[in-house]
Structure 1
Amino acid sequence: MFAELLAELLEWCLDIKFWFKKRKRRKFEKAHNIPKKTMWYPSQKLGVLYLMVMLFSAIIFMVFVFPNIKNNNTKKRLSKIVMLLEKEKKEIGAYPIELKTIIRNNPLLKGITKDDWKNEFYYKLSDDGLTYNLFSLGKDNTPNTDDDITLKQ
């Protein structure tokens, strides 16, 4: 708390000192009829520096962290679908033919059949009806690529 107050006072002192320097510079420019030089207050320089750091941090977040968030959310959604499919098999005795069957009239499950890229999950029931193939096509929306998120049963 004390350090923050001291830093704020120091910043004000630097701005006041700069204000006198800028005023002196403007008088000199006017007396010698030269164009005005761009001058920034120390607090403005700190603000720009903070802005640059925040922008850099946001770029790092978007490149490295954000794609993993979408993958993790999609994996969680796939796990929930697997749980619902198993519940369906336990109650009815077979897996549903279409994935949308697990939604029923539950508004909480309305968007569960789509991944984080707003693509429908791929769901294919085997010919014997005992297993299924369930996966997300990933960001590129193309099957059988490295970004596919797959669960097999």
Structure 2
Amino acid sequence: MIELILSTLAEFGLIREDYKHQKRITKKEKEDGIKRPIQKYFMQPSALMFISVLVIGSLSAILFFTYQRKSVFPKKTKNEISEMSDRMENWNKNLGKYPTELNELIGNSPLRQGWKKDAWNREYEFKITENGQGFLITSAGSDGKFGTEDDIKSN
């Protein structure tokens, strides 16, 4: 209830300031005979508030998504690859060999269905070494290309 009252008062205050702004600009226009449409409409307090909120919101969104791509996604992918590696080692310990493909490792578990793709929503590269004694799980990283320095690998 308090929020509604405060927002209503703020809106009335903004409407009042817009009205006073319009009066001031109209008075200046009459005094010197120069039309001021930009100052009259785009420089009124409500327009300035709208533009400010739009700019601040856009910058916040850009910063958030950049932070997420640069910090959160790599950590999430590293943790996921670590979990997959642990499961691979358990598989090898119990069955004496590694699974031949990622879907075999994932199985029917709904919790592990997310292991098919990394945090950037790209497929992992899954390889068993030639002698079958090791494995390599690789995420292409933020650039989406395998074989670059931002790749995230197991082991």
- Which residues of structure 1 form unaligned runs of 5+? none
* TM-score (ref. length: structure 1): 0.73
Report the count of equivalent residues. Answer: 149
The aligned counterpart of 2:131 is 128
**1:46 correspondence with 2:23:** no
How far off is 1:141 after superposition? 3.4
CA contact (8 A) 1:11 1:43 kept: no
What is the DSSP-based 3-state SS (H/G/I as helix, E as strand, rest coil) of the residue aligned with 1:133?
strand
Name the CA shift for 1:149/1:42 in 2 (closer, same or farther; >3 Å). Answer: same
User: Partner residue of 1:88?
Assistant: 91
Q: Which residue of structure 2 aligns with residue 37 of structure 1? A: 37
* Alpha-carbon contact 2:18-2:46 (below 8 Å) kept: no
Deviation at 1:102?
1.0
Give the SS at the match of 2:126.
strand
Residues 29 and 35 in structure 2, CA contact (< 8 A), matched pair in contact too: yes
Contact 2:69/2:142 (8 A) holds in 1? no
Overall identity of the aligned pairs, in % = 29
Question: CA offsets, 1:70-118, max 9 Å, x none?
Answer: 2122112211211211221122122112222112222332231221233
Cα 1:18/1:43, change in 2 over 3 Å:
closer
Structure 1: distance between partners of 2:129 and 2:21: 80
Q: Determine the structure 1 residue equivalent to 2:22.
A: 22
Assess if the C-alpha contact under 8 Å between 2:125 and 2:138 holds in 1. yes
Does structure 1 conserve the Cα–Cα contact (< 8 Å) formed by 2:77 and 2:119?
yes
2:151 is the alignment partner of 1:148 = yes
Per the TM alignment, residue 66 of structure 1 is displaced from its structure 2 partner at its CA by: 2.7
1:11, 1:42 within 8 Å by CA — same for their partners in 2? no
1:74 partnered with 2:87: no
Identify the structure with the greater helix proportion.
2
Distance in 1, matches of 2:24 and 2:143, equals 60
Q: TM-score, normalised by structure 2?
A: 0.72
Does 1 or 2 have the higher relative contact order (CA < 8 Å, sep 6+)?
A: 2
